[in-house]
Amino acid sequence: DVKVTQSSRYLVKRTGEKVFLECVQDMDHENMFWYRQDPGLGLRLIYFSYDVKMKEKGDIPEGYSVSREKKERFSLILESASTNQTSMYLCASSLRHNEQFFGPGTRLTVL
C-alpha cells in the first residue's frame, strides 16, 4: 500500500515563527503536493513538485515556500507564521496523472 506520512498530526506555533511541515512517501512517486483545507473552502493547492529540486506554485503560494531535496520528501515552510495560516495541511503524492494519495494531515494552529 502507498504510504504518505506527515511529521505531526497537531502543531501549535506562535506568530512570526518559522514552521516546517514534513511529508514523506514510500512509493517512489514523482509528484508531490501540498494543500490546505479550510471549512467551507475545500482543499486549495499551495505548491507542487514533479521532480527533485523542482517546484511549481499552486493557487495560494503566498506566505509559503517548499523544498524537495530527495524524491521521497517534500517540505512546506512557513517563513514567518501568521494567524491566517491556521489550517489543516494535507500532503499528497501521485505517479504521473493517476490518483493522488494523501497523508493524514497536520492541523496547524498559529497563536
Partner 1 sequence: AQKITQTQPGMFVQEKEAVTLDCTYDTSDQSYGLFWYKQPSSGEMIFLIYQGSYDEQNATEGRYSLNFQKARKSANLVISASQLGDSAMYFCAMREGDGGADGLTFGKGTHLIIQP
**Min separation Cβ 13 and partner 1, Å:** 20
Nearer to partner 1, 90 or 110 (CB): 90
Which of 81, 90 has the CB closer to partner 1?
A: 90
Half-sphere exposure of 8 (CA within 13 A, CB side): 14
Q: Is 69 helix (H, G, I), strand (E, B) or coil?
A: strand
Query: Which of these ranges, 18-26, 37-45, 63-71, 73-81, lies near partner 1 under the rule CB under 8 A?
Result: 37-45
- Give the chain's radius of gyration (CA, Å): 13
Strand order in the sheet with 4-6: 4-6, 19-25, 73-78, 65-70
Binder of partner 1 out of 43, 61, 63, 86 (CB under 8 A): 43
Q: Which of 64, 63, 75, 66 is nearest to 103 (CA)?
A: 75
Site residues (vs partner 1, CB under 8 A): 30-31, 33, 35, 40-45, 48-50, 56, 58-59, 88, 90, 92, 94-102, 104-105
